[in-house]
Amino acid sequence: DAGVIQSPRHEVTEMGQEVTLRCKPISGHDYLFWYRQTMMRGLELLIYFNNNVPIDDSGMPEDRFSAKMPNASFSTLKIQPSEPRDSAVYFCASKRGGADTQYFGPGTRLTVL
């Protein structure tokens, strides 16, 4: 199994630009989670999907953030416009329904200048 795949691994952009992070969950997993990790706040759940449908987006910081899951094998997290305070590592994780263990991708390190 390839595990959760995220791209890009590193992203450097300028304030005001649009940023799109991508995630491919493990095949057969029907839950997908987006997390953000910062020194100040640790690991925070931003949003999660079940069967491609957003279930809980209460962790999304503001309207500049949006996430989609057009099919079972692909999800995006978009930030528009980006700000320096968005700099963080963004993780995607997936799990199979009925199981409780989430499997994490390697993360995308985002730097907004």
Partner 1 sequence: AQSVTQPDIHITVSEGASLELRCNYSYGATPYLFWYVQSPGQGLQLLLKYFSGDTLVQGIKGFEAEFKRSQSSFNLRKPSVHWSDAAEYFCAVTSGTYKYIFGTGTRLKVLA
Q: State both tokens at 43.
A: 């690991």
Q: Distance between the two ends of the chain, CA-based, in angstroms?
A: 36
Distance CA 105, CA 89 (A): 11
**DSSP structural state of residue 102:** -
Q: With binding defined as CB under 8 A, does residue 90 bind partner 1?
A: no
Verify binding: residue 88, partner 1, rule CB under 8 A. no
Q: Does 100 sit near partner 1 (CB under 8 A)? A: yes
Q: CB 25 → partner 1: shortest distance, Å?
A: 13
Determine if 48 is a binding residue for partner 1 (CB under 8 A): yes
Site for partner 1 (CB under 8 A): how many residues? Answer: 21
Q: Which two tokens stand for residue 46?
A: 């931003």
CB nearer to partner 1: give 74 or 103.
Answer: 103
Q: From the CB of 16, what's the least distance to partner 1, in Å? A: 28
Q: Contact region for partner 1 (CB under 8 A) — 14-22, 47-55, 60-68, 74-82?
A: 47-55
Least distance between partner 1 and beta carbon 63 (Å): 22
Residue 112 buriedness (CB in 10 A; 0-12 / 13-18 / 19+): buried
**Using the rule CB under 8 A, which residue among 91, 94, 110, 112 binds partner 1?**
91
Q: Could you count the other beta carbons within 10 Å of the beta carbon of residue 1?
A: 7
Return d(Cα 37, Cα 97) in angstroms, integer.
Answer: 24
